[in-house]
Amino acid sequence: MWMQRALALAEGAVGLSDPNPRVGCVIVAADGHTLLGEGHTQAAGSAHAEVMALQGAQAAGRDVRGATAHVTLEPCSHHGRTPPCCDALIAAGLGRVVVAVGDPNPAVNGQGAARLRAAGIQVDWAQAALAEASRELNIGFFSRMQRGRPWVRMKLAASLDGRTALENGQSQWITGEAARTDGHAWRKRAGASLTGVGTVLADNPRLDVRLVPTPRQPLRCVVDAWLHTPATARLFDVADAPVLFYAAEPEATRVATLLARGAEVCALPDGRGRVDLAAVLADLARRQINELHLEAGQRLNAAWLRAGVVDELLLYQAPLLVGAGQGLAALGAYAALTEASRWRYQAIDRIGPDLRLLLRPALG
């Protein structure tokens, strides 16, 4: 029960704690029934979940000596932007710490639990289901720490017959208002959202989070090999939301135009006149991006899928049949079904009149 409460608290760090993981902490008295303090990780450079819970207990005048802390991720043992959480728990005199899942950060990775035990604090691990819930909440953090790249989620909205737009390009709106709001909640989760120049020219999106509250905007990225994005694009109308362009071999005047609008331009050519998508992921990892949210057109979608780096499909399916139109991804023709890209359903949910399908690559 207490770890489930801690996980619910950790949800409050979504859109706030990046690039740090989303962590919740609940401190309970030795009797196992009395809540002493709780909290979740704050913005990077501010207090972590354990410190927030300790501060809450202190503010309420509650003694935490001998108490149990339920933490959704192994307490950190290294000096980053803040001191180690292990030290704070040890100094407070806790008697036991229950951890949902180990921290994949090489700077921690078991050292947090070891330091607590060395100080005489009992360390226990939560049930596997709770560990998996914590890992899912921090799937991008685990990806960056273990694979050296962000978790890549491709968001799509389509009709029953797989069309994202009519033949004339009209796409607003295939899905309903509830699905669009839900899509912004997923965009909020990401450290960066990315589209292509084709979508910029066709739809002129802002690519920001507007339909749900958020303490910060994700980094907004555009794959634009030759920098054809006009200086009047709505991307530049969002205050305090940076824009990053990934280009191939951009012309200096176009670079200057975008720089004048406050954007950053990063040239990552693949040697064939296109942007190197693997290099994009490496660059985003360097920028400490945990989750990358893709919202592009069928050509760029196909490029990401062919690269084999899409970890998850977030597909909103509307109960419409629209006939001829634009598809999800321009993958071309396969000679046999064995060549098809295969996926498995992770979750299926009703969002207003639409369905939200979460899929991951099929195993084996």
SS3 94: coil
- Which residues are bridge partners to 86 per DSSP? none
CA distances from 352 to 134, 176, 248, 314, 322 (A): 27, 7, 41, 16, 19
Token pair of 212 as six digits: 């749900």
Task: Give backbone dihedrals phi and psi of 291, rounded to 5 degrees, phi first.
Answer: -125, 130
Spacing of C-alpha 1 from chain mean position: 26
Task: Give backbone dihedrals phi and psi of 24, rounded to 5 degrees, phi first.
Answer: -120, 150
Cα 180 from Cα 158, distance rounded (Å):
12
Cα 125 from Cα 115, distance rounded (Å):
15
Contacts of 327 (CB under 8 A, 6+ apart): 162, 163, 164, 298
Token pair of 243 as six digits: 């824009």
Cα 348 from Cα 315, distance rounded (Å):
10
Cα 72 from Cα 97, distance rounded (Å):
10
Decide if 291 is catalytic. Answer: no
Q: Given the residues 11, 38, 50, 291, select the one marked as catalytic.
A: 50
State the DSSP code for 148. S
Buried b (16+ CB within 10 A) or exposed e, 309-346: bbbbbbbbbbeeebeebbbbbebeeeeeeeeeeebeee
Cα 36 from Cα 56, distance rounded (Å):
8
Contact between residue 8 and residue 70 where contact means Cβ atoms under 8 Å apart: no
- Which residues are bridge partners to 314 per DSSP? 155, 358
Q: Which residues are catalytic?
A: 50
